[in-house]
Amino acid sequence: MIYLFFLSCTEQSRIRDTYLEEEEITQNILLPWATESNISQDDQYVRFEMRAQRKVHKIPLNDEFDVGFEVEGYAYNDLTPSPVLIAKKGQTLKVDFFNDLDAPTTIHWHGIKSPESMDGVPYAHEPVGPEEFFNIEIPLEQEGTFWFHPHYDTARQVDMGLYGMLIVEDQEHPIAKYPKRFLLFDDWKPDQVSVDVEHSHLYEDGHWLVNQHHQPKIEVEEPTVFHVVNASNQGYLNMHWPNALWVGGEQGYWGTPAIFEHLLLAPGERAVLLDLGGEKDVVMQPYSNHGGTTWEEPFNLFSIEGDVFEQPSLPTIIEPPTPDPQSTDAVLVFQGNPYTNSWYINGAQFPDVEPIRWKYGHTGVLEVRNLSPTEHPFHLHGLVFEVLSVDGVPPEQRQIEDTVNVGIYQTVRLLITADNIGQWMAHCHILPHGDEGMMTIFEVYDEE
């Protein structure tokens, strides 16, 4: 109670009226694809210019767009979320990156098997200093809904607005022909730059924004594909989204579209939905990583307006999950204390956690056990994994991911092929947890 009161006081003192232009609103909710001026492409390359800049974010508090607060933060190409980068499988992504911030930064390509030197972690290359350029070049061999964000001073820089979506698609896939929408969700607060637990805004329901808009309306004219990212540092998104099919995960479209009740996305997770129209609200059922659905009232995240469309016939490929080999190559035990914000893997804190080391080409099982009283989204760089089971239960179909939520006292078993040489970060994507120790290295080596 005291805590909530404290928050609302701080908030009051910060809130001021901001009048956003109508134009600004419509421009923002449909995130622009990276525009002609900063893109060029051929079969081999897709090229973008990206600039990390300072930006004053105008955060609306209601759907009238006339009341809100301002947050001094950062943005890519002057927008949060960044313009969407779209590429074809097989192209090489080239980004001419310029750092116009007052601080060093990097870009990490979350979900992409990049070369280690492009992964954006400070031990793989020096961070890009203020006023410095960095040329990024990554062959795109996977399909999926990826996102990018800094991996230097991570919790703070992401929270200040540096993130965007990268879509890599096989354009022959039957789902690729539908119109696309891109939604990045984040929970904003007036004091955006404090990311410690004391300033957590997990339980404030007013500030979940969609592409930085509060409860926008999105019109659909035919079945429409929604690529969804939870870009929040620590908030869980638990959505009730009627009349839609779940058609893809983080690493591409699924064999069989799934019906779903609730869509739970932990920080860093993505999903692809095919919306089948109707007049409806997509609603958030507040969710805490300290124990699931909370007592709070559900609230509207955004609305969809359109006719109800007939379900198109989509290809259905039965892809059962790979059977568990019943052997385990490595175990990560997550422990910690939410009251002190101290987090451990196998009893130690990064960089003191013993790294996992697999030889290039090895396929094995990594088991992640959560013995802490909070949930943690486990994310692995540079590689992907198949979820073999959660508490012994295999998923309904083959599920390839790079981020998986591990519930309280849950055990997940992940099948990994070490097919990318390098030292890869493996960490909790609740960013303050990663910063406070819940991180290790998964090294894929060639020769000893």
Nearest CA-CA partner of 154 in 103, 83, 82: 103
- Return the SS3 of 232: coil
From CA 155, how far away is CA 193, in angstroms rounded?
Answer: 9
Binding mask 372-401 for ligand C2O (x = CB under 6 A): -------x-x--------------------
Q: From the list 162, 384, 430, 441, which residue makes contact with Cu ion (rule: CB under 5 A)?
A: 430
Contact partner, 151, from ligand C2O, Cu ion, none, Cβ < 5-8 Å per class: ligand C2O
Residue 413 near ligand C2O by CB under 6 A? no
From CA 137, how far away is CA 240, in angstroms rounded?
Answer: 38
* Cα–Cα–Cα angle for 338, 187, 374, rounded to 5 degrees: 20
Contact partner, 108, from Cu ion, ligand C2O, none, Cβ < 5-8 Å per class: ligand C2O
- Return the SS3 of 368: strand
Nearest to ligand C2O of 110, 227 (CB atom): 110
- Return the SS3 of 8: helix
Residue 249 near ligand C2O by CB under 6 A? no
Contact partner, 425, from ligand C2O, Cu ion, none, Cβ < 5-8 Å per class: ligand C2O
Nearest to ligand C2O of 387, 426 (CB atom): 426
Per the CB < 8 A criterion, the answer to whether 428 and 378 are in contact is yes
Phi-psi region of 231 (alpha: psi -120 to 50; beta: other; left: phi over 0): alpha
Within 8 A by CB and 6+ apart from 215, the residues are: 62, 63, 300, 301, 302, 303
How far apart are CB 219 and ligand C2O at their closest, in Å? 31
Nearest to ligand C2O of 207, 433 (CB atom): 433
Binding segment for ligand C2O (CB under 6 A), chosen from 33-41, 225-233, 293-301, 423-431, is 423-431
Binding segment for ligand C2O (CB under 6 A), chosen from 65-73, 134-142, 358-366, 422-430, is 422-430
Per the CB < 8 A criterion, the answer to whether 84 and 46 are in contact is no
Residue 428 near Cu ion by CB under 5 A? yes
How far apart are CB 423 and ligand C2O at their closest, in Å? 12
Residue 227 near ligand C2O by CB under 6 A? no
Residue 110 near ligand C2O by CB under 6 A? yes
From CA 187, how far away is CA 284, in angstroms rounded?
Answer: 12
Binding segment for Cu ion (CB under 5 A), chosen from 108-116, 181-189, 204-212, 422-430, is 422-430
How far apart are CB 433 and Cu ion at their closest, in Å? 3
27: part of which helix (H) or strand (E)?
Answer: helix 22-29
Say how far residue 389 (Cα) sits from the centre of its chain. Answer: 22
> Which residues within the stretch 309-338 sit at the binding site for ligand C2O (CB under 6 A)?
none
> Which residues within the stretch 357-396 sit at the binding site for Cu ion (CB under 5 A)?
376
DSSP 36-57: GGGEEE-SSEEEEEEEEEEEEE
From CA 290, how far away is CA 293, in angstroms rounded?
Answer: 9
> Which residues within the stretch 148-207 sit at the binding site for ligand C2O (CB under 6 A)?
149, 151
Which residue type does 343 have?
Answer: W
Residue 108 near ligand C2O by CB under 6 A? yes
Binding site for ligand C2O (CB under 6 A): 108, 110, 149, 151, 268, 379, 381, 425, 427, 429
